[in-house]
Chains A and B, each alone.
Chain A
């Protein structure tokens, strides 16, 4: 690891100031990707701004039927939250399936979505549930937040503070794990609620997480595994690598959509 300067931010303003002041400052929200990358010398931020100790930055609360999850809330806390289990059990299940126990107890929801790894789980959940990302500057809808591989709408000096997730009437998540990393080779989150029927796919898209219009239409008309299974999923625009061709990913999107509905 190259030398770096560690800041423990006391407030959001403090964090934003430190991010602006550093030559190449990055937020440390859990570090389950960032620290490993730094150890491999693939990242060398001048400053790390740790936001986890900021008051109100972690924990789950509710606002009516809306889940409000602090950015520094760990995956284990989300998985174990009674509010999440009550209002959106599929999201609790998603959190329970991220990485391994060590990752789940240190990695955070804010860190995951800010990184926007194309194989991460949370982007699919947030996109399908129509979540809103609250930052130090503004509120950003999930449809606008995720902008491609490892790319989000966040500015360099912008800090995610929480995520607001409306409860769904039905939701399910099914993930097919890449055999080596156990990341999502394909993950499909299907949800139905006030925002309509939304189906988000992670792990498969060349541009990262995306909504699948065909599955949304089919499930909007008939929320059933059979309806999901009847949708032809095209392989255009899907990732291809040593673990899965685009065609295999397309097949898995259909199968995982069925299983997500079955799990809902």
Chain B
């Protein structure tokens, strides 16, 4: 059975995951382990006038209680946002100070003011409750539009009106003119509901200071351990990079929430030095709801204009993005370059203008969450297309087809240059698989049972393969977004690949090995993947934005190119042949057309014994590469959702969900389909169940699974997943990325289907039974 590109190889890592043998951060237990518990603000906004730690310090087993004054006094730097956005008036974004432990003011429920270090976790938590903080409660605001309205509480002194930036993209005047001349203008107001990421493994950190070497080791739940080390070192001044090792071992899901460097990791490192103990913190689910960066939370109004033939002439968008109380690491890029640049959707739109205002509120910081900006763009564009079709009396698929981009490359007016795609092919495939032709009969059958049946489309596009370093640098990114790899052929011919990507559920140990096994025609088990440890692996950028295939694997290919070149040279020398005649297959390195051959392992041995190498060749067989992508990649596709609504209760049953995706080259269909299943489940979660709710005092209402509804297996149908692919021309494997597509493309398909079923377009996410029932009542 083939184990190469396109093979449905079983995941190599699953045995340890399924049998409970994975090694996660919380599994790390050092000698004389101490435990941290944070003292967190119960108020959304308050001045901290004093902290009394005496009762906690008096408890047996409490090692120390540390606060923000001590932390900043030791020179620990403020947490920063790493992407600079410039407002349309030319001013820089207004980034407020964020200390890992608040010094004089708390700005959201959960903001940490102190940390207790104790001998046990239970004791640390009890002692944390004994720390008395003198709060002077201030007015608070949770909603972004209210925060920007006059008179709201001021959250950061250097952000007047709570405005972080007021940014725009596209030609406003041309778009206005196009809308003024349009035959039809559709207006739409949408909210993109705030979500909590809910990775299966909560965040955790184990920090150990070694006073002999002045060295720190941090185990943590990170999607990008090198970026964590860089930021901890360069910005937070915890330790120089060579004195800080960051290890992200098995990590149980991230969805973006584990990209960022949080106060807890910083505090544990610093506290380890202060107490000279290894300090461990493990979030529980309640703490996760108030500390893991939330996602989405946009309020948008938009207008789309069409000519008499149904061609889009202009698209004008105004968005407010809620950033929470502080600017998280990549927060600023999400509602700008990851959102507004995708507003052209799959369509040929000459005029687009988008204005984005980013607001501070007294809520958990908001940052990238599976899709990061692209779900918000897709939801707006695809709700707009469906709404416009209904208003103009057109079939929603006809309207889409009439506007599809047909020729590539295609430059949109919002930066992105689409490189390849066949949007019509995905729509055709999805419609056939969903039996759209038979929908009318199914709808009639449902009606006979008193049920309302509806069909909704979403033709999504997104940008992955993040990202060309120079391009993102010019847009304000503080880092390059290339990836690194090192391919080590051992003297016995087995191979280790050191990758800067990080796997936290994606199956890299399998897919990365597949491309190596295919390239050198070796057994899959001869290839091992090493990742997640800054002491083992060269600097790398990590995993997010569906980049590990298109960028991470491309780096491996580049390194393999170098390995192959050296293998050819060695073999040609030993076998006395021309390099051009060397063939690598079946575990051998051969001279084509002859019986001259040496085993793959013999090439490795030759390289390391160095007894008979070409003149001037260095011994060894190990090559590294850095790959910087030439462009974003553009996964696209069409999703079709079919629902049946019970009008008595508003309960919506997704009876069929069909996906046709274009991911370019697929390495392992099992893993890709799993990504699509998970993504759609998360998208259905956003569309129908999930919503972070704050009350008027900015207290979190949905602080546990009792109130925050996660999708369960019974909430999702058996997915019908298909592929109609075009090859990405910009990377060596032709890959586009698949990790986020499901979460990006599915929410509008769901809402379009429900609104089709109930005959009312006025329905916000999440479309809970209550919301659907209310919409039905309102339309009566």
Contact = CB atoms under 8 A, between A and B. Distances in A.
B243 interface: no
Interface in A148-202: 176, 179-181, 183
B132 to A, nearest CB: 16
Contacts of B691: 242
Given A245-B770, A255-B648, A179 B122 contact: no
Interface in B637-674: 648-650
A251 interface: yes
A248 B773 contact: yes
A41 interface: yes
A180 B709 CA distance: 4
A252 B648 CA distance: 8
A244 B691 CA distance: 14
A14 to B, nearest CB: 29
Given A40-B286, A176-B649, A243-B768, A248 B774 contact: yes
B129 interface: yes
Contact of A41 (B125, B649, B705, B774): B125
Contact of A180 (B126, B286, B649, B706): B706
B649 A181 contact: no
Nearest to A182: B712
Contact of A242 (B286, B707, B769, B774): B707
A243 B693 CA distance: 11
A183 B122 CA distance: 29
Contact of B649 (A1, A2, A255): A255
Interface in B681-723: 689, 691, 693, 701-702, 705-710
Nearest to A245: B770
A242 B693 contact: yes
Nearest to A229: B648
A1 B705 contact: no
Contacts of A41: 125-126, 129
Given A176-B649, A255-B649, A248 B770 contact: yes
B123 to A, nearest CB: 10
Contacts of B125: 41
B648 A181 contact: no
Given A41-B129, A255-B648, A242 B702 contact: yes
B770 A243 contact: yes
A240 B66 CA distance: 42
Nearest to A249: B770
A243 B774 CA distance: 12
Interface in A225-250: 242-245, 248
For the residues of A in contact with B, the DSSP-based class is loop
Contacts of A1: 122
A243 B710 CA distance: 14
A176 B769 CA distance: 10
Nearest to B128: A41
A137 to B, nearest CB: 33
Given A41-B125, A242-B701, A180 B708 contact: yes
Contacts of B650: 248
Contacts of B689: 179-180
Contacts of B770: 243-245, 248
A249 B707 CA distance: 17
Interface in B762-780: 768-770, 773-774
Contacts of B769: 176, 179
B128 to A, nearest CB: 10
A34 B697 CA distance: 29
Contacts of A181: 705-707
Given A242-B702, A243-B770, A252 B649 contact: yes
A39 to B, nearest CB: 9
Nearest to B651: A176
Nearest to A41: B129
Contacts of B768: 179, 243
Contacts of A2: 126
A248 B650 CA distance: 10
A83 B485 CA distance: 67
A205 B122 CA distance: 37
A74 B770 CA distance: 32
A250 to B, nearest CB: 11
Interface in B376-395: none
Contacts of A244: 770
A184 to B, nearest CB: 13
B119 to A, nearest CB: 15
Contacts of A243: 707, 768, 770
A73 to B, nearest CB: 25
A215 to B, nearest CB: 16
Interface string A1-31: 1100000000000000000000000000000
A2 B130 CA distance: 12
Contact of B709 (A40, A179, A251): A179
A248 B126 CA distance: 41
18 contacts: A40-B286, A41-B125, A41-B126, A41-B129, A176-B649, A179-B769, A180-B705, A180-B706, A180-B707, A180-B708, A180-B709, A181-B706, A181-B707, A244-B770, A248-B650, A248-B774, A255-B648, A255-B649
Considering the complex of A and B, which 10 residue pairs feature the smallest CB-CB distances, nearest first? A180-B709, A179-B709, A181-B706, A255-B648, A248-B770, A180-B707, A244-B770, A242-B693, A255-B649, A179-B689
